[in-house]
Amino acid sequence: MEVILYIGILLAYFAVMIFIGVKNSRRAKSVNGFVLGGRSVGPWLTAFAYGTSYFSAVIFIGYAGQFGWNFGVAATWIGIGNALIGSLLAWAVLGRRTRVMTQQLDSATMPDYFGKRFKDDKLKIAASVIIFIFLIPYTASLYKGLGTLFAMAFDIPYWVCIVIMAAVTAVYVLVGGYMATVWNDFIQGLIMLFGIVIIVAAVLMSKGGLSEALAQLSQIPAGDLNGAYVSFFGPDLYGLIMVVLLTSLGTWGLPQMVQKFYSIKSENSVKTGMIVSTVFALVVAGGCYFLGGFGRLFVTDSSPAYDTIIPTMLQQSLPAILIALVLILVVSASMSTLSSLVMSSSSTLTLDLIKGGIKKDLSHKSQMVLIRAFIAAFIVISAVIAIIYEEFQLAFIAQMMGVSWGALAGAFLAPYLFSLYWKKTTKASCWACFIFGVAASVAALVISLSASSLPQSFLDSFIYKYLFSSSIYVGSWTMIAGFAIVPIVSLFTKKPDQGQLGELFKPFGQMNEAVETAVEGYLTKQQPVAARALRKTEEEPLQETECETKEK
């Protein structure tokens, strides 16, 4: 009877997703409409698209279980960081700048932005290749949490679950394009919002409420520490800080996240989107990680598979109807992120790598065919990788999934951020960051795969323990290093034509001059100059752009 309930709810859900895809098919006739929704997406839809792309089944099933197990309720700080740094600050710092500059450059993807911002097609192609290589394993990782959960509910093979989800996602994305994904993201986001609140409450009530659950968790020792899993910062503060950095600040350099700002309807919509996105992240991410903190009350195994922790908690504490809600929540989280990733990958490969480098006279019709073909290919390839990983447990695939986020953020975050605010950011500094980000991630992958054959002295060293022992550590430090690489390399390499960039930065008025003075002040160790310049940004209003003037 329960299985019939689960199947019925899932079929109804899939039908709604496909209907939305068909409904938005008219708006997916052009490349701009298919990839960016005609740059006319409202703030609420953009905010939900940002949030649902941010938080997938990897967060709910994998990360919530893993970090909740390692840090206890202190894992909630990860969700708070995702809300304040990954959402609020990301929208405030990147939102308007990205919207204005990408519209002026007429760029639809992050590689296209780099190519036009620095007038270098090779830079665009390099960014496209990096995205192509590292987004596929990241996409495959979305399926990881589904197998255990679906097996618990349906007792069907893992590969069947993957094929069903991939097929439904392919249909509505291929038919409806970007607008279909954002409308589905909105519905999926509502499910995630209400679902996580109900699930957290139900799980805590199964242990006698919040106070009783915390009291029970406080009795579980963390090595020699008693009560560490209910402490403010948990048993591993360094590990917690690294996770917060990578999962919060790292989103600033992920192409599928930044691209959400390209399509927002107007600059005035950024503030609304920022508030909605932050609340969404606080509830969903905060709720997921808070829930994961109680995993040790439900799992007795001292070294469990992290993907099994949350499903075990839910199986022990939820009735059938709420298990059905969890199924929809996890499928929603996975499909929304999957659609965002394949849209970003396929558009980048078509518009930047093929049209931008191999065949520049590619017709509009051919572009549309290729984008759809690559969407289908990406979904199939990522599904096959996920199935192979589950069947054979290949260490290489697992490690590739782990380094993908860090490689992308390490390569793109610093050059993208500096190029939005500092006119003197050079092409060479972008190349340096691209090379360093990828090289560091590949080196970490090699070290991880060969750890068993490395000298014990190296494995016990400070460098290995705090840098290479975890893909989280490598990704965080690679990303941070970019903030030194870009300005330092820019100081010693050929500057771009400041006259040509003047028009591009004109909408930002005095604020941009103050930011440039501040950056150069810190680089030349003239902190008082930098501090005065930053204070000036608080006093100078932004100039209106043509878009804002027309809207008024």
pLDDT single digits (tens) 462-501: 888 888 888 889 889 999 999 999 999 999 998 887 777 8
Q: What is the chain's alpha carbon radius of gyration, rounded to the nearest angstrom?
A: 23
The answer to whether residue 481 is domain-embedded is no
402: tokens are 């782990």
Cα–Cα distance measured from residue 394 to residue 381, given in angstroms and rounded to the nearest whole number: 16
pLDDT at 536 (0 to 100): 52
What residue type is 136 in one-letter code? Answer: I
Q: Look at residue 41 and give its three-state secondary structure.
A: strand
The answer to whether residue 457 is domain-embedded is no
* Closest to 338 measured CA to CA, from 154, 173, 151, 164: 173
Number of domains in the chain: 1
Contact 173, 342 (CB under 8 A): yes
Q: Does position 413 have pLDDT exceeding 50, yes or no?
A: yes
The answer to whether residue 464 is domain-embedded is no
For CA atoms 254, 110, 347, 18, give the dihedral sign: positive
pLDDT at 540 (0 to 100): 44
Contact 468, 528 (CB under 8 A): no
- Give Cα separations from 105 to 101, 112, 118, 227, 329 (angstroms): 6, 9, 11, 55, 38
CA angle 35, 41, 43 (to 5 degrees): 135
Cα–Cα distance measured from residue 306 to residue 145, given in angstroms and rounded to the nearest whole number: 10
The answer to whether residue 517 is domain-embedded is no
The answer to whether residue 454 is domain-embedded is no
What residue type is 58 in one-letter code? Answer: V
Give the pTM: 0.84
How does pLDDT run across 43-89, given as a tens digit for each residue?
888 888 888 888 877 788 778 888 999 999 999 999 999 999 999 99
pLDDT at 48 (0 to 100): 85
pLDDT at 84 (0 to 100): 95
Look at the chain and count its residues.
Answer: 552
DSSP state of 426: -
The answer to whether residue 533 is domain-embedded is no
The answer to whether residue 333 is domain-embedded is yes
Contact 223, 87 (CB under 8 A): no
Contact 123, 427 (CB under 8 A): yes
Number of H helices, E strands in the chain: 28, 0
Contact 489, 426 (CB under 8 A): yes
How does pLDDT run across 201-256, given as a tens digit for each residue?
999 999 999 999 999 998 888 776 778 888 888 888 999 999 999 999 999 998 88
What phi and psi, each to the nearest 5 degrees, are found at residue 208?
Answer: 90, 10
What residue type is 97 in one-letter code? Answer: R
Cα–Cα distance measured from residue 491 to residue 528, given in angstroms and rounded to the nearest whole number: 20
Q: Does position 174 have pLDDT exceeding 60, yes or no?
A: yes
Containing structural domain, residue 153:
2-393
The answer to whether residue 505 is domain-embedded is no
pLDDT at 355 (0 to 100): 67
DSSP state of 349: I
* Closest to 113 measured CA to CA, from 421, 348, 301: 348
How does pLDDT run across 289-317, given as a tens digit for each residue?
999 999 999 988 878 878 788 888 888 88
| Domain at 370, CATH number | 1.20.1730.10
